[in-house]
């Protein structure tokens, strides 16, 4: 006797198949991206990083340095008009100093502020071994902007941080990222465009310009695997 699938069971099978195809398509896009930026094995060799650059906004240039140790801590130091701006993040604590936001000395981050920054501790890239890191992806289909075609993928990390990435189908690189960030207790939509991809002396490709709503972070120097004193990741 020929086996007959009930409508509900048939629908479940179709939905399951569609989901598998969608997930597979997302992984194909991610694999091409990781290859384009240097390959998974190369990125997994990165244990620390130091960046020197400047933030450009409305004709003003603010120099900054960023030092990071993978999954251990990050620290950003900047100075503007004689005032120091500091941002420190570790897996359990964080501190911030910004006189222009009313913080004249290092102040502890709130739980929401810290959770919002935890994913930045992963300097090997959000998509490298994303499943092992507890993240999930969802394919959102294709989109067009400025005459280019993009494949959109939403990544949700184990910290419940959701970011939608726009992958350029010509270069396989990430052109744009959309997410939300906690600022003074409010959810604020953040859009960042990754520009001027360059290959570093370590052999990986990264954007040397990130445009976040007219505020452009420009990388001038990037050092891979420098010795970083973890004491920098404290408020002392």
pLDDT mean values, one per 10 residues, the chain (236 residues): 45 41 73 98 98 95 97 97 95 95 92 93 97 97 91 96 96 96 76 97 97 95 97 90
Question: How many domains is the chain partitioned into structurally?
Answer: 1
| Locus of tokens 């959000």 | 126
Would you state the pLDDT for residue 184? 65
Has residue 100 been placed in a domain? yes
187, 160 contact by CB (below 8 A): no
Would you state the pLDDT for residue 10? 42
Q: How many residues does the chain have?
A: 236
Would you state the pLDDT for residue 182? 67
Would you state the pLDDT for residue 145? 87
Has residue 1 been placed in a domain? no
The residues pairing with 210 across neighbouring beta strands, listed in sequence order, are 194, 217
Q: What is the DSSP string of 111-125?
A: HHHHHHHGGGG-TT-
Has residue 208 been placed in a domain? yes
Q: What is the DSSP secondary structure assignment for residue 110, as one 8-state letter? A: P
- CA–CA gap between residue 10 and residue 117 (Å, rounded): 43
Would you state the pLDDT for residue 67? 98
Has residue 214 been placed in a domain? yes
The alpha-helical segments, DSSP class H, found in the chain are 7-36, 40-43, 111-117
122, 108 contact by CB (below 8 A): no
Q: In this structure, what CATH number is given to the domain that contains residue 157?
A: 2.50.20
Would you state the pLDDT for residue 181? 79
> Where in the sequence is the domain holding 175, given as residue range(s)?
7-233
Has residue 161 been placed in a domain? yes
Would you state the pLDDT for residue 24? 46
- CA angle centred on 169, ends 23 and 32, rounded to 5°: 60
- CA–CA gap between residue 50 and residue 226 (Å, rounded): 7
- CA–CA gap between residue 214 and residue 78 (Å, rounded): 18
Has residue 2 been placed in a domain? no
53, 218 contact by CB (below 8 A): yes
């Amino acid at each position: 006797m020929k086996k007959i699938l009930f409508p509900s069971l048939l629908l479940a099978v179709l939905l399951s198949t569609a989901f598998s195809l969608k997930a597979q398509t997302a992984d194909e896009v991610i694999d091409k991206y990781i290859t384009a930026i240097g390959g998974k094995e190369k990125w997994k060799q990165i244990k620390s990083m130091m960046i020197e650059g400047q933030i450009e906004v409305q004709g003003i240039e603010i120099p900054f340095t960023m030092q990071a140790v993978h999954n251990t801590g990050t620290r950003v130091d900047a100075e503007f008009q004689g005032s120091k701006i500091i941002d420190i993040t570790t897996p359990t604590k964080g501190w911030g100093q910004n006189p222009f936001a009313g913080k004249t000395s290092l102040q502890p981050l709130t739980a929401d502020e810290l959770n919002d920054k935890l994913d930045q501790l992963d300097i090997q890239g959000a998509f490298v071994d994303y499943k092992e890191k507890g993240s999930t992806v969802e394919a959102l289909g294709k989109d067009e902007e400025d005459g280019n075609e993009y494949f959109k993928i939403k990544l949700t990390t184990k910290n419940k941080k959701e970011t939608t990435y726009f992958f350029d189908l010509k270069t396989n690189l990430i052109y744009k990222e959309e997410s939300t960030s906690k600022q003074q207790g409010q959810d604020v939509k953040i859009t960042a465009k990754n520009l001027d991809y360059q290959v570093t002396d370590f052999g990986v490709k990264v954007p040397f310009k990130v445009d976040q709503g007219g505020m452009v972070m420009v990388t001038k120097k990037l050092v891979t695997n420098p010795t970083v004193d973890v004491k920098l990741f404290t408020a002392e």
